Amino acid sequence: MEHKIFQKIEQSSKPNFSDVISKSFDMFKLVFKEGLIHSLISLAIAIPFLLIIYIPVLPAYIDMIQHAGEYGYQPTFFKDMSPVLIVVWVLFVFVFSFLLQVVNVSVLGHFLKLVKNKDLGTNDTIGGYFSIAKEHFGKILLLSLATMGIAILATMLCYFPIIYAMVPLTIITPIFVFNPEMSVGDLVKASFKLGNKYWGVLFGIIFIASLIATLGMIACYIGFVATMAYNYVAYYYIYKDTIGFDEEPSTSGNLLV
Protein backbone atom coordinates (compact mmCIF):
# COMPACT_ATOMS: atom_id res chain seq x y z
CA MET A 1 0.00 0.00 0.00
CA GLU A 2 1.36 3.38 -1.00
CA HIS A 3 2.27 5.71 1.85
CA LYS A 4 -0.17 8.58 2.44
CA ILE A 5 2.61 11.12 1.89
CA PHE A 6 2.37 10.63 -1.87
CA GLN A 7 -1.28 11.66 -1.85
CA LYS A 8 -0.36 14.67 0.27
CA ILE A 9 2.24 15.67 -2.29
CA GLU A 10 -0.30 15.29 -5.09
CA GLN A 11 -2.76 17.52 -3.23
CA SER A 12 -0.16 20.00 -1.97
CA SER A 13 -0.06 23.68 -2.84
CA LYS A 14 2.93 25.55 -4.17
CA PRO A 15 4.87 27.15 -1.30
CA ASN A 16 5.08 30.94 -1.31
CA PHE A 17 8.70 32.00 -1.65
CA SER A 18 8.55 35.26 0.30
CA ASP A 19 6.25 33.77 2.93
CA VAL A 20 8.61 30.87 3.68
CA ILE A 21 11.64 33.18 3.90
CA SER A 22 9.76 35.59 6.18
CA LYS A 23 8.32 32.89 8.46
CA SER A 24 11.71 31.22 8.66
CA PHE A 25 13.29 34.48 9.81
CA ASP A 26 10.61 35.04 12.46
CA MET A 27 10.96 31.49 13.76
CA PHE A 28 14.75 31.68 13.65
CA LYS A 29 14.61 34.59 16.09
CA LEU A 30 12.47 32.51 18.46
CA VAL A 31 14.71 29.44 18.35
CA PHE A 32 18.05 31.21 17.99
CA LYS A 33 19.42 29.86 21.27
CA GLU A 34 18.34 26.30 20.51
CA GLY A 35 19.67 26.57 16.96
CA LEU A 36 23.02 27.78 18.25
CA ILE A 37 23.21 24.86 20.69
CA HIS A 38 22.45 22.34 17.93
CA SER A 39 25.04 23.94 15.64
CA LEU A 40 27.67 23.81 18.39
CA ILE A 41 26.88 20.15 19.05
CA SER A 42 27.30 19.35 15.36
CA LEU A 43 30.58 21.27 15.29
CA ALA A 44 31.84 19.61 18.46
CA ILE A 45 31.18 16.20 16.92
CA ALA A 46 32.65 17.09 13.53
CA ILE A 47 36.00 18.40 14.83
CA PRO A 48 37.21 15.07 16.32
CA PHE A 49 36.03 13.24 13.20
CA LEU A 50 37.98 15.65 10.98
CA LEU A 51 41.08 15.38 13.16
CA ILE A 52 40.97 11.59 13.02
CA ILE A 53 40.64 11.73 9.25
CA TYR A 54 43.24 14.38 8.45
CA ILE A 55 45.97 13.88 11.06
CA PRO A 56 47.46 10.88 9.17
CA VAL A 57 47.99 13.03 6.04
CA LEU A 58 48.95 16.25 7.85
CA PRO A 59 52.69 15.73 7.11
CA ALA A 60 51.86 15.69 3.40
CA TYR A 61 50.06 19.04 3.61
CA ILE A 62 52.90 20.58 5.64
CA ASP A 63 55.43 19.31 3.10
CA MET A 64 53.46 20.76 0.18
CA ILE A 65 53.15 24.14 1.95
CA GLN A 66 56.87 24.24 2.68
CA HIS A 67 57.73 23.52 -0.95
CA ALA A 68 54.99 25.63 -2.49
CA GLY A 69 56.24 27.43 -5.59
CA GLU A 70 59.30 25.22 -6.06
CA TYR A 71 59.62 24.31 -9.72
CA GLY A 72 59.56 20.60 -10.41
CA TYR A 73 58.75 19.61 -6.81
CA GLN A 74 56.71 16.43 -6.51
CA PRO A 75 55.24 15.31 -3.15
CA THR A 76 56.65 11.99 -2.03
CA PHE A 77 54.46 11.36 1.02
CA PHE A 78 51.86 9.21 -0.73
CA LYS A 79 54.50 7.52 -2.88
CA ASP A 80 56.29 6.40 0.29
CA MET A 81 53.12 5.07 1.86
CA SER A 82 52.22 1.44 1.57
CA PRO A 83 49.29 0.79 -0.79
CA VAL A 84 47.68 -1.17 2.04
CA LEU A 85 47.87 1.88 4.34
CA ILE A 86 46.35 4.08 1.64
CA VAL A 87 43.44 1.66 1.18
CA VAL A 88 42.93 1.45 4.95
CA TRP A 89 42.94 5.25 5.23
CA VAL A 90 40.41 5.62 2.38
CA LEU A 91 38.12 3.04 3.99
CA PHE A 92 38.57 4.78 7.33
CA VAL A 93 37.52 8.11 5.82
CA PHE A 94 34.56 6.45 4.10
CA VAL A 95 33.26 4.81 7.29
CA PHE A 96 33.78 7.84 9.52
CA SER A 97 32.10 10.14 7.00
CA PHE A 98 28.94 8.05 7.11
CA LEU A 99 29.02 7.83 10.91
CA LEU A 100 29.27 11.62 11.03
CA GLN A 101 26.33 11.88 8.63
CA VAL A 102 24.20 9.64 10.87
CA VAL A 103 24.93 11.82 13.89
CA ASN A 104 24.29 15.06 11.99
CA VAL A 105 20.92 13.82 10.72
CA SER A 106 19.96 12.94 14.29
CA VAL A 107 20.92 16.38 15.64
CA LEU A 108 19.17 18.12 12.74
CA GLY A 109 16.08 15.96 13.24
CA HIS A 110 15.95 16.90 16.91
CA PHE A 111 16.04 20.58 15.95
CA LEU A 112 13.33 20.17 13.30
CA LYS A 113 11.05 18.51 15.87
CA LEU A 114 11.74 21.33 18.30
CA VAL A 115 10.82 23.90 15.64
CA LYS A 116 7.61 22.00 14.95
CA ASN A 117 6.61 22.11 18.64
CA LYS A 118 7.36 25.82 18.79
CA ASP A 119 5.48 26.59 15.58
CA LEU A 120 2.37 24.48 16.17
CA GLY A 121 2.21 25.02 19.93
CA THR A 122 2.42 21.27 20.52
CA ASN A 123 4.35 19.42 23.19
CA ASP A 124 5.37 16.26 21.34
CA THR A 125 8.21 14.22 22.78
CA ILE A 126 11.34 14.84 20.74
CA GLY A 127 13.80 12.73 22.71
CA GLY A 128 17.50 13.49 22.97
CA TYR A 129 19.88 14.85 20.38
CA PHE A 130 20.91 11.35 19.32
CA SER A 131 17.59 9.53 19.78
CA ILE A 132 16.92 9.38 16.04
CA ALA A 133 20.35 7.85 15.42
CA LYS A 134 19.74 5.22 18.10
CA GLU A 135 16.30 4.29 16.77
CA HIS A 136 17.01 4.44 13.04
CA PHE A 137 20.77 3.98 12.68
CA GLY A 138 20.53 1.45 9.86
CA LYS A 139 17.95 3.42 7.91
CA ILE A 140 19.95 6.67 8.13
CA LEU A 141 23.04 4.79 6.98
CA LEU A 142 21.20 3.36 3.97
CA LEU A 143 19.67 6.76 3.23
CA SER A 144 23.14 8.35 3.32
CA LEU A 145 24.44 5.70 0.93
CA ALA A 146 21.49 6.28 -1.40
CA THR A 147 21.89 10.06 -1.43
CA MET A 148 25.65 9.76 -1.96
CA GLY A 149 25.09 7.40 -4.88
CA ILE A 150 22.56 9.77 -6.45
CA ALA A 151 24.90 12.74 -5.95
CA ILE A 152 27.86 10.90 -7.50
CA LEU A 153 25.78 9.75 -10.46
CA ALA A 154 24.38 13.26 -10.99
CA THR A 155 27.87 14.78 -10.81
CA MET A 156 29.18 12.31 -13.39
CA LEU A 157 26.47 13.52 -15.79
CA CYS A 158 28.24 16.83 -16.45
CA TYR A 159 27.20 18.67 -13.26
CA PHE A 160 23.82 20.06 -14.35
CA PRO A 161 21.92 17.06 -12.93
CA ILE A 162 23.49 17.67 -9.49
CA ILE A 163 21.89 21.14 -9.49
CA TYR A 164 18.55 19.47 -10.14
CA ALA A 165 19.16 16.72 -7.58
CA MET A 166 20.22 19.23 -4.92
CA VAL A 167 16.59 20.10 -4.16
CA PRO A 168 15.23 16.59 -3.46
CA LEU A 169 18.46 15.61 -1.67
CA THR A 170 18.01 18.61 0.62
CA ILE A 171 14.36 18.03 1.50
CA ILE A 172 14.80 14.29 2.04
CA THR A 173 15.95 14.87 5.64
CA PRO A 174 12.78 16.61 6.93
CA ILE A 175 10.67 14.03 5.07
CA PHE A 176 12.52 11.27 6.93
CA VAL A 177 12.42 13.05 10.31
CA PHE A 178 8.64 13.48 10.20
CA ASN A 179 7.99 10.10 8.55
CA PRO A 180 10.60 7.71 10.01
CA GLU A 181 8.41 4.69 9.28
CA MET A 182 8.90 5.10 5.52
CA SER A 183 11.32 2.85 3.66
CA VAL A 184 14.47 4.30 2.14
CA GLY A 185 13.07 3.74 -1.34
CA ASP A 186 9.85 5.62 -0.54
CA LEU A 187 11.80 8.46 1.10
CA VAL A 188 13.88 8.94 -2.04
CA LYS A 189 10.79 8.65 -4.24
CA ALA A 190 8.83 11.17 -2.15
CA SER A 191 11.67 13.70 -2.07
CA PHE A 192 12.06 13.59 -5.85
CA LYS A 193 8.30 13.72 -6.37
CA LEU A 194 8.02 16.87 -4.24
CA GLY A 195 11.24 18.36 -5.57
CA ASN A 196 10.19 17.84 -9.17
CA LYS A 197 6.73 19.33 -8.59
CA TYR A 198 8.01 22.60 -7.13
CA TRP A 199 11.65 22.58 -8.22
CA GLY A 200 11.92 26.26 -9.16
CA VAL A 201 10.50 27.77 -5.97
CA LEU A 202 12.18 25.19 -3.73
CA PHE A 203 15.54 25.85 -5.36
CA GLY A 204 15.03 29.57 -4.78
CA ILE A 205 14.12 29.07 -1.11
CA ILE A 206 17.06 26.74 -0.47
CA PHE A 207 19.48 29.05 -2.29
CA ILE A 208 18.40 32.23 -0.48
CA ALA A 209 18.22 30.42 2.88
CA SER A 210 21.78 29.23 2.33
CA LEU A 211 22.93 32.77 1.57
CA ILE A 212 21.27 34.09 4.73
CA ALA A 213 22.74 31.25 6.78
CA THR A 214 26.24 32.02 5.52
CA LEU A 215 26.05 35.68 6.56
CA GLY A 216 27.74 34.63 9.78
CA MET A 217 30.90 33.93 7.79
CA ILE A 218 31.43 37.70 7.70
CA ALA A 219 32.39 37.44 11.38
CA CYS A 220 35.57 35.49 10.60
CA TYR A 221 33.55 32.32 9.93
CA ILE A 222 32.74 31.88 13.64
CA GLY A 223 29.39 33.61 13.22
CA PHE A 224 28.32 30.93 10.75
CA VAL A 225 27.69 28.66 13.74
CA ALA A 226 25.08 31.15 14.94
CA THR A 227 23.31 31.57 11.59
CA MET A 228 23.48 28.10 10.02
CA ALA A 229 20.29 27.00 11.82
CA TYR A 230 18.29 29.35 9.56
CA ASN A 231 18.74 26.78 6.80
CA TYR A 232 17.03 24.11 8.86
CA VAL A 233 14.13 26.36 9.81
CA ALA A 234 13.54 26.99 6.10
CA TYR A 235 13.57 23.22 5.46
CA TYR A 236 10.89 22.83 8.13
CA TYR A 237 8.61 25.38 6.46
CA ILE A 238 9.16 23.80 3.05
CA TYR A 239 7.84 20.55 4.52
CA LYS A 240 5.01 22.18 6.46
CA ASP A 241 3.76 24.33 3.58
CA THR A 242 3.71 21.44 1.10
CA ILE A 243 3.20 18.09 2.82
CA GLY A 244 2.02 19.43 6.18
CA PHE A 245 1.16 17.63 9.41
CA ASP A 246 -1.89 15.70 10.56
CA GLU A 247 -2.16 17.89 13.64
CA GLU A 248 -4.33 20.97 13.41
CA PRO A 249 -1.99 23.93 13.95
CA SER A 250 -3.02 27.06 15.76
CA THR A 251 -3.79 30.05 13.57
CA SER A 252 -0.27 31.44 13.73
CA GLY A 253 1.66 29.05 15.89
CA ASN A 254 3.84 30.71 18.48
CA LEU A 255 5.06 33.43 16.15
CA LEU A 256 2.82 36.00 17.81
CA VAL A 257 3.94 35.14 21.31
Question: Quick check: 257 pLDDT over 50?
Answer: no
Q: Which of 67-81, 143-157, 194-208 has the lowest mean pLDDT?
A: 67-81
Q: At what angle do helices 199-213 and 229-242 cross, to 10 degrees?
A: 160
The whole-number average pLDDT for the span 133-160 is 87
- Please report the pLDDT score of residue 255 as a whole number: 47
For 58, the enclosing helix (H) or strand (E) is helix 58-66
Could you tell me which residue, 48 or 187, shows the higher pLDDT? 187
Q: Which of 64-78, 85-99, 223-237 has the lowest mean pLDDT?
A: 64-78
Could you tell me which residue, 131 or 246, shows the higher pLDDT? 131
Q: How far from each other are the two terminal CA atoms of the chain, in whole angstroms?
A: 41
Question: Quick check: 31 pLDDT over 90?
Answer: yes
Pick from 121, 136, 234: which is nearest to 182 by CA? 136
Instruction: Extract the runs of DSSP E, i.e. beta strands, from the chain.
Output: none
- Please report the pLDDT score of residue 213 as a whole number: 84
Could you tell me which residue, 217 or 253, shows the higher pLDDT? 217
Q: How confident is the model at residue 226 (pLDDT cuts 50, 70, 90)?
A: confident
* d(C-alpha 31, C-alpha 43), whole Å: 18
Pick from 227, 239, 247: which is nearest to 109 by CA? 239
Pick from 172, 128, 124: which is nearest to 148 by CA? 172
CA angle 18, 20, 21 (to 5 degrees): 65
- Please report the pLDDT score of residue 250 as a whole number: 43
Pick from 178, 169, 154, 152: which is nearest to 237 by CA? 178
Query: Whole-prediction pTM value?
Result: 0.84
Q: Which residues are CB-contacts of 63 (< 8 A; sequence separation ≥ 6)?
A: 75, 76, 77
Q: What is the largest CA-CA distance in the chain?
A: 68
Percent of the chain with pLDDT over 90: 52
Pick from 180, 189, 117, 106: which is nearest to 147 by CA? 189
Q: At what angle do helices 4-11 and 184-197 cross, to 10 degrees?
A: 0
Class of residue 28 by CB neighbours under 10 A (exposed 0-12, middle 13-18, buried 19+):
buried
* d(C-alpha 181, C-alpha 159), whole Å: 33
Question: Quick check: 209 pLDDT over 80?
Answer: yes
Could you tell me which residue, 179 or 159, shows the higher pLDDT? 179
Q: Which of 17-31, 36-50, 191-205, 216-230 has the lowest mean pLDDT?
A: 216-230
pLDDT digits (tens, 9 = 90+) for 111-122: 999 999 999 998
The whole-number average pLDDT for the span 21-41 is 93
Chain length of the chain: 257
